[in-house]
Amino acid sequence: MESLRGRDFISLKDFSPEELWYLLETAKNLKVQRKRGVDTPHLKGKTLGMIFTKASTRTRVSFEVGMYQLGGYALFLSAEATQIKRGEPIADTARVLSRYLDGIMIRTFKHQDVLDLAAEADIPVINGLTDLLHPCQALADMLTVYEKKGKLRGVKIAYIGDGNNVAHSLLYAAAKFGMEITVASPSHYLPAEEVVKEARMIAAQTQGEIVITSDPQRAAKDAEVIYTDVWASMGQETEREERIKAFQGYQVNTDLLKVAAPGAIIMHCLPAHRGEEITEEVFEGEQSVVFDQAENRLHLQKAILASIL
């Protein structure tokens, strides 16, 4: 799709439903080709710089392998091993890397850093995660739901837990695809009001529905997808004990599944703290699609790379 070429991938709200559907279909095709052993050298000769100021397993491996499978090259750039750590302005880094690379992926804490990088770079910038958003994860999740349910419009998804970056991107994704999403979080950990407002504006155009509550049972009732995430994300380690107390009653367990729709799938973006936000029994149960989600990060991100670079 020509409208995607050269674009930044920072937030799902920046893309039309048609563009996001195109990425899902591209990911599905790339996944099929990979399973059949078909080469897809769409990015032969292209290079992707990957800036990390946050630790990573899935993001680093999936982007690095994805570029390799597309015929390109991915360069890992740890903040500790670059001049970023010594205080080089991100604007300078962006302008230098634009002379060397075809694209930049960044996984960091401050969302503003991604915006600043994109503003100064002459090449596409991909948001691999910030404290505000996790768009690659949410779109890979949509691919997983689409595979398991055969549709997205009208599917009811319940997100139980911290109103964090994953919740924010899921709100945008669900709104774009006309889904019904309910986020259940303790009152002090609800999603950002601005994100909820924007998601509701999008949902009004797609016949989607956005509900925010502090009642996990209400969220899970008749839900076809139950989603959770860790209660304390990277950078929140000092809040861990406080958060564990606040999130008691928000665990995804067999009791919660009893009110969900028959055949509801269980999702988690990983890493998981089994026994906290989700029980071992549910995490490893037949309804869990957690590792299908993880695999789909690879295929979805390949679709993004192939479409924008």
Residue of 152, 172, 292 whose CA lies nearest to 224: 152
- Whether 297 is a known active-site residue: answer yes
Q: In CATH terms, are 2-133+296-308 and 136-294 the same topology?
A: yes
| Rounded-to-5 percentages of helix, strand, coil across the chain | 50, 15, 35
Domain parsing of the chain, residue ranges: 2-133+296-308, 136-294
- Please pick, among 269, 293, 299, 301, the residue that the annotation labels catalytic: 269
- Whether 136 is a known active-site residue: answer no
- Whether 107 is a known active-site residue: answer yes
**Per-residue confidence band for 234, with pLDDT thresholds at 50, 70 and 90:** low
Instruction: State pLDDT tens for residues 150-182.
Output: 999 999 999 999 999 999 999 999 999 999 999
Instruction: State pLDDT tens for residues 40-94.
Output: 999 999 999 999 988 889 999 999 999 999 999 999 998 776 666 667 788 899 9
Q: Where are the beta strands (DSSP E) in the chain?
A: 47-52, 73-78, 103-107, 125-129, 156-160, 180-184, 209-213, 225-228, 265-268
Instruction: State pLDDT tens for residues 175-208.
Output: 999 999 999 999 999 999 999 999 999 999 999 9
- CATH architecture of the domain with residue range 2-133+296-308: 3-Layer(aba) Sandwich (3.40)
**Mean pLDDT value across the chain:** 95
- CATH architecture of the domain with residue range 136-294: 3-Layer(aba) Sandwich (3.40)
pLDDT, residue 232, reads 82
Once rounded to an integer, what is the mean pLDDT over residues 105-116?
Answer: 95
**Per-residue confidence band for 15, with pLDDT thresholds at 50, 70 and 90:** very high
- Please pick, among 102, 131, 137, 162, the residue that the annotation labels catalytic: 137
